Amino acid sequence: MDERETAGMTAEMHPGAALDAEALLARLPQVRGRLTPMRPLADLCWLRVGGPAEALFQPEDADDLSAFLAALPADVPLTPLGVGSNLIVRDGGLPGVAVRLGRAFMGAEPLEGARLRVGAAMLDSRAAMAAAEAGIAGLEFLRTIPGAIGGAVRMNAGCYGSYTADVLEEITALDRQGRAHRLPASEIGFAYRSSDLPEDWVIVEAILRGAPGERAAIEARMDDYIARREASQPTKDRSCGSTFRNPAGYSSTGEDGDPMDLKAWSLIDRAGMRGATRGGAQISPKHSNFLINAGGATAADLEGLGEEVREKVREAFGIELEWEIKRIGLPS
């Protein structure tokens, strides 16, 4: 049954938002999953901020998603959301259709050759645990990465010297026309914290490749990663992990020839922004590259504080920090 929960939920309920869900829904195809107009997104994002999606589509399965994409008008914006672990949705909301995958895309299946087939909506941590149960080593780093496998692929997530590109064999993704593409990792164009995948493609599945290992040893490595993370990062606060990418393309020494630490957290620290606040947003006192919702923050608070950090680092060091957190949608 197509759930179109209008109930008077139109753009008029969100002052300043240039969204018209009623007009949009009249143009969208029928679905078997759930299609909700003006769906608030704050509760779906880890920072708990942001306006509504003009329409949120939660497909029943891959066939439902493919049929929807094939019939979606070409001029309607399409945004795959993931689980919102690396995302700021601006306060004015998100035009067009946002797609969020659910239970049908959360499975894990061990394959021959120390490989694991995982749905794109499966949390990275759960994929790591499924690999451990199957005796697949090499995926332990995923245990501490916030988010789901689809997002990990899209941004080449990594930590402790390992990246998604190192363990990915292939993905299946649906394009804007609903056509399925199976791509090996070599055709995805991985780089530091990025890939060349089109923004409106929806990743639905990935095959990860590890090596045979003993479950106890794998779990011990995951426990070590968790302990290291909790010791150095504000894991109990609302954040999206690292806010800015570590800079590339700059000299590793200062003007006096002394070594210069170009890690984003160090630059932010030396620019005097550790613990800085704006509204309910704060740069974590524990780790300077973590932007947190300390309570009652708006998306504008968070993005504004991030831009202030970038300005201070630019003024102090002539270095342009690049956002690692994705920001989408309309201002309030």
Catalytically active residues, by annotation: 193, 242, 324
Angstrom CA distances, 222 to 138, 218, 237, 239, stand at 10, 6, 21, 21
Q: Which amino acid is at 2?
A: D
Cα 70 to Cα 1, 30, 306, 318: the distances in Å are 19, 12, 38, 46
Locate all alpha helices (DSSP H) within the chain, ordered by sequence: 21-25, 62-71, 124-133, 149-155, 164-167, 215-232, 264-270, 299-317
Question: What value, to the nearest 5°, has the Cα angle with vertex 17 and ends 11 and 20?
Answer: 40
- State the DSSP string of 86-98: TEEE-TTBEEEEE
φ, ψ (nearest 5 deg) of residue 207: -115, 120
Provide the β-strand partners of residue 3.
Answer: 34
What lies within 8 Å, CB to CB, of 181 at 6+ separation is: 172, 173, 174, 175, 201
Buried residues in 51-75 as b, exposed as e (16+ CB within 10 A): bbbbbbbbbeebebbbbbbeebeee
Which amino acid appears at position 194 of this protein? Answer: S
SS3 content of the chain, % helix, strand, coil (to 5): 30, 30, 45
